[in-house]
Structures are given as C-alpha cells and as structure tokens.
Amino acid sequence: MPTPEFVVELRRKIGHDPLWLPGVGGVVFDDDGRVLLGRRADNGRWAIITGMVEPGEQPAVALRREIEEETGVAVEVEYLLATGVDGPITFPNGDVCTFLTLDFRCRWVSGTARVNDDESLDVRWFPLDDLPPLNPRHLALVQEAGAFDGVTRFVP
C-alpha cells in the first residue's frame, strides 16, 4: 500500500517511533441495502474501506476521496457512526502507528464497484445477511450502520 508522502517525511525524522495518525472508515450502503467491502491487498481480509486523513483535510472529504480511489464509487457521507483508537500497530517494516479513527455511514451516489488501485484484491457489494468474515470491529460497525439510530458511538 502506498504510504502518504507526509508520513514518509515524518518517518525520515522519527524512524520507527510511535506515530499518532487520523484515520477514517466508511460503511457504504447501496440502494438495495448492500454494504461495500474491499479485500485488502496487505492481509487478504475483507474490510470496510479505510484510509488516512491528509494534513489539513476534512475527515468526510478524506473518506470520499479514499472510497473513490480504492473502489471507483462516489458516496455521500451521511453520519458519524463511531470514534475510537486502533493500535498501537506494528507494521512489518517496524513502523509503529496508533490511529484515531472516525467511522461514517455513507450512501452510494454513483460508480461501479471495482478494484481501482493496488490496495485491494477484490471489491464487492454484500447483503447484510451474507457477509464474508470481518474483524470484530468492522463487523460491529456494519451492524451498527445497518441499524443506525442517529447516535454516534464513542468507544470507551
């Protein structure tokens, strides 16, 4: 996966030391109530679409950008579902990151779901009753987004 240039620059200065980064995730629904998932190239697992917020970028703008870059799908960001912290995560190269993640419910606007970059092996729409295996956090987000009551969840 390509590392954003701002992270590459920071890594030149701090090496593998822990880095705190803002991230976004999107649970995207189409008009038939199916959810958009990508099979990640780095670990082969199915996941909601996620990415990093660039310096100065608004989170919803970052999420729309990430979803379109990775899947070819344009979305409307509807609601903030949850906030939480993921990590610390140690990557194979030794870099350590912790992510402050903002997860949103989104609605498909246009585009055909496809692998649109090198970050995914597959991209598909799934009915909520026939999801592939997801990590517990992403599964909970998909379930919460499907029954969203308008109240953002803050992970304790």
So what's the pLDDT on residue 1?
54
Whether 57 has a pLDDT exceeding 80, the answer reads yes
Write the burial class of residue 79 (CB in 10 Å: 0-12 exposed, 13-18 middle, 19+ buried). Answer: middle
Q: Which residue has the higher pLDDT, 154 or 132?
A: 132
Write the burial class of residue 71 (CB in 10 Å: 0-12 exposed, 13-18 middle, 19+ buried). Answer: buried
What would be the CATH architecture of the domain defined by 20-147? Alpha-Beta Complex (3.90)
pLDDT tens digits for range 6-20: 999 999 999 999 999
So what's the pLDDT on residue 127?
97
- Contacts (Cβ under 8 Å, ≥6 apart) of 105: 26, 27, 29, 78, 79, 81, 145, 148
So what's the pLDDT on residue 128?
96
For the segment 81-91, the average pLDDT, to the nearest whole number, is: 93
Among residues 68, 60, 62, the alpha carbon closest in space to that of 113 is found at 68
Phi/psi for 67 (5° steps) reads: -65, -45
Q: What is the pTM of this model?
A: 0.92
